[in-house]
Homo-oligomer: A and B are copies of this chain.
């Protein structure tokens, strides 16, 4: 089987020669002014893969931007501009007059709340496919990269993980949540919150960062590979909702937490000496930030259970071409 990362590595990845940073992080970096680099990335949402065909268009408009904002957070960049490449079926244009107005209202609501400006795009007819390109600014040399993790760094997580995957599994009838439980989890799937502002504040505190889109284990392993380090995390330290905790004994639900993805929370590593400052930042921004493990020398990631034993995982994260 050929994975998404195999495809990128095999067919598309080359060393950057003109850019400051090319393929392989949450965003590319190009030099702008003497003081500023631009962080640039693109994320696509595909109907039937990332969302259901009957998804609420307002929420979809929000989410399509949020997943891109999340990449800017992971680079420590301030999001500034976006382009929208929208492929939309004829019936949503000609027969459902509310779809486009709702979608654009959701998109602009989130954009406006972060002073992000839509400056271009392309509108085409075809199977629903939402591509957003985002451009942010970061001080030269200061961007958070996947490759910066250092030995003994603490591993931190923003917010809590797994609710989006849990809600998705309910929708896919892999598990049955109580109605009130679904109400708790569904917003994480439909309207994820990008932690805009957090990344910029972590520039002086963290060594590396990635946004959790493919699942904690897969994304943390990207940090480890790029930084040539190993790590352990304690599963019991990973913040999760009471609903997820209730079902955590089920392997499916444990996978939601560890490998489910679609979280759009931040995973970052930071020296222990910054622990107190990060806790203060958490309080200041009212964003939960939780230590879940530590960077080690070597390679590989160990996920420990409550007794300290290593957990064996069947899959490491979401992959479009394997899932």
Contact = CB atoms under 8 A, between A and B. Distances in A.
Q: Max chain B CB contacts within 10 Å: which of A23, A43, A47, A117?
A: A117
Contact of A41 (B14, B103, B120, B321): B120
A127 B124 contact: no
A193 interface: no
Given A44-B131, A94-B321, 14 more contacts: A12-B118, A18-B80, A18-B115, A22-B120, A33-B33, A33-B34, A40-B120, A41-B83, A42-B83, A42-B85, A46-B87, A47-B126, A129-B129, A131-B131
A42 B94 contact: no
Nearest to A120: B28
Interface of A: 1-2, 4, 7-8, 10-12, 14, 16-19, 21-23, 27-28, 30, 32-34, 38, 40-44, 46-50, 80-81, 83-85, 87, 90, 93-94, 100-101, 103-104, 108, 115, 117-127, 129, 131, 133, 135, 320-321
A227 to B, nearest CB: 20
Given A81-B30, A127-B129, A122 B18 contact: no
A118 B41 CA distance: 11
Nearest to A24: B120
